[in-house]
């Protein structure tokens, strides 16, 4: 099959709305990767704005560590993005197949990543979806950053000087993005770079859990476990990058002046003859894209932001009440939730001890006809101010009293739909 002067060959990758095929320029013999996008699919998935943004953004990015867009062609049904051909796969596959990198090799790749991201930021482009899968490797092992469909541009900042769209991949997203109060694109990209550095040096994610509530709790806390084999310089760099406070988190400039980073560092050489930057990109719509008749695809973090009227209990209730632990969600403020739990404990005859966001309640065994003794702990985890997760754990004691306590707390604090389920 031919598209213009390009002869298409084998399929290199495939997604929901696009295929990537190997292509050869029949005039020059140069190899390329052609991303073939089905117009019907992107309309149905309501992601046409992402494709447009990626094309417009890549047109102003010309750096050796960023995948280059050479040309865009179109037919009635397809869009063809002619991209630089990168044959080494992505960093995710590299880690999965061969494990963690040596500190020397990992630092070299991290240096290239920072070079590419620094260039983007200087151009006014903030990636917002940095992850291993979006970092490709060429035949020489050099990295190439790709997939700018979720990138933000200067015109996307609101009057408060912040971005407000919650996006990204769960394990890589910065805590301030989840907080839903606005964030700085450069600072959130730095956090994602920290996650990538952690993975390439350890072979595992710094924050990971199958339960969304636990994952988000870990992200907000920061401070991932760092193996003993990591050098002090690398350990310090990881901690500075994964600082949950964006104000004190290290900046790109700070990274570049760090002694560990500068070891054997050779800045990328490139000639950017085009003075255009992202501020020159004209887009339809604002940070909140135009509303169409198609349903909008939202992610888990956007669901959390809508928690005042959505039942998210399925994300958190992983065990039956008969087990030792149960979770439920509450839309009340964390301080009110804690106070209410303490009141319920005391009304049911428990002795209560409080430690920060955790309450320990003990009830000694009563008469033979009444309930037996029970020791439980209740802890409150704030995801955002309008959503808290209550975790109730039974150390030992009477199961029926434990169930009674849970039902009472759920009735007092749970979301309306959870309470409705309890009454059914």
Residue 208, C-beta contacts closer than 8 angstroms, at least 6 positions apart: 171, 215, 218
Percent helix / strand / coil, the chain, rounded to 5: 35, 20, 40
- Residues belonging to the binding site for ATP are 35
* Tokens at 164, concatenated: 């407000």
Q: How far apart are CA 376 and CA 348, in angstroms?
A: 13
Q: Are 363 and 350 spatial neighbours (Cβ–Cβ below 8 Å)?
A: yes
Catalytic residue among 129, 189, 243, 398, which?
129
Closest CA to 403 of 311, 316, 315, 324: 324
In 190-341 the beta strands, taken as DSSP E runs, fall at 325-330
Q: Are 56 and 283 spatial neighbours (Cβ–Cβ below 8 Å)?
A: yes
Q: Integer distance in angstroms from the first to the last C-alpha of the chain?
A: 60
Active site residue 147: no
Q: How far apart are CA 187 and CA 240, in angstroms?
A: 12
Please identify every residue annotated as catalytic: 129
């Amino acid at each position: 099959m031919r598209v213009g002067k390009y002869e298409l060959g084998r399929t290199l990758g495939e997604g929901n709305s696009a295929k990537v095929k190997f292509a050869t320029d029949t005039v020059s013999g140069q190899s390329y990767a052609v991303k073939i996008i089905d117009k019907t699919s992107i309309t149905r998935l309501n992601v046409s704005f992402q494709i447009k943004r990626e094309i417009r953004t890549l047109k102003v990015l010309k750096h050796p560590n960023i995948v280059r867009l050479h040309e865009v062609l179109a037919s009635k049904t397809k869009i063809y993005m002619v991209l630089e051909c990168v044959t080494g796969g992505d960093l995710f596959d590299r880690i999965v197949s061969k494990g963690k990198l040596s500190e020397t090799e990992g630092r070299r790749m991290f240096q290239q990543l920072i070079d590419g991201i620094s260039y983007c930021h200087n151009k006014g482009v903030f990636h917002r979806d940095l992850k291993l899968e979006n970092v490709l490797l060429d035949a020489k092992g050099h990295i190439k950053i790709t997939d700018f469909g979720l990138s933000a541009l200067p015109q996307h900042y609101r009057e408060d000087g912040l971005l407000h769209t919650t996006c990204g991949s769960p394990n890589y997203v910065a805590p301030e993005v989840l907080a839903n109060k606005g964030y700085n694109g450069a600072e959130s990209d730095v956090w994602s770079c920290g996650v990538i550095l952690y993975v390439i040096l350890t072979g595992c994610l710094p924050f990971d859990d199958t339960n969304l509530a636990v994952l988000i709790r870990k992200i907000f806390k920061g401070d991932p476990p760092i193996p003993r084999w990591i050098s002090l310089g690398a350990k310090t760099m990881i901690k500075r990058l994964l600082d949950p406070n964006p104000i004190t988190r290290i900046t790109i400039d700070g990274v570049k002046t760090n002694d560990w980073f500068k070891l054997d560092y050779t800045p990328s050489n490139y000639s950017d003859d085009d003075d255009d930057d992202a501020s020159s990109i004209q887009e339809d719509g604002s940070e909140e894209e135009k509303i169409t008749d198609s349903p909008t695809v939202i992610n888990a973090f956007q669901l959390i932001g809508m928690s005042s009227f959505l039942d998210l209990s399925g994300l958190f209730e992983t065990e039956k009440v008969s087990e030792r632990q149960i979770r439920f969600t509450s839309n009340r403020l964390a301080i009110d939730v804690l106070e209410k739990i303490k009141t319920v404990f005391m009304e049911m005859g428990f002795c209560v001890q409080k430690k920060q966001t955790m309450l320990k309640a003990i009830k000694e065994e009563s008469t033979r006809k009444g309930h037996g003794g029970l020791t439980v702990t209740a802890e409150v985890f704030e995801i955002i101010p309008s959503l808290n997760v209550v975790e109730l754990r039974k150390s030992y004691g009477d199961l029926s009293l434990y169930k009674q306590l849970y039902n009472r707390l759920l009735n007092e604090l749970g979301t309306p739909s959870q309470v409705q389920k309890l009454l059914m």
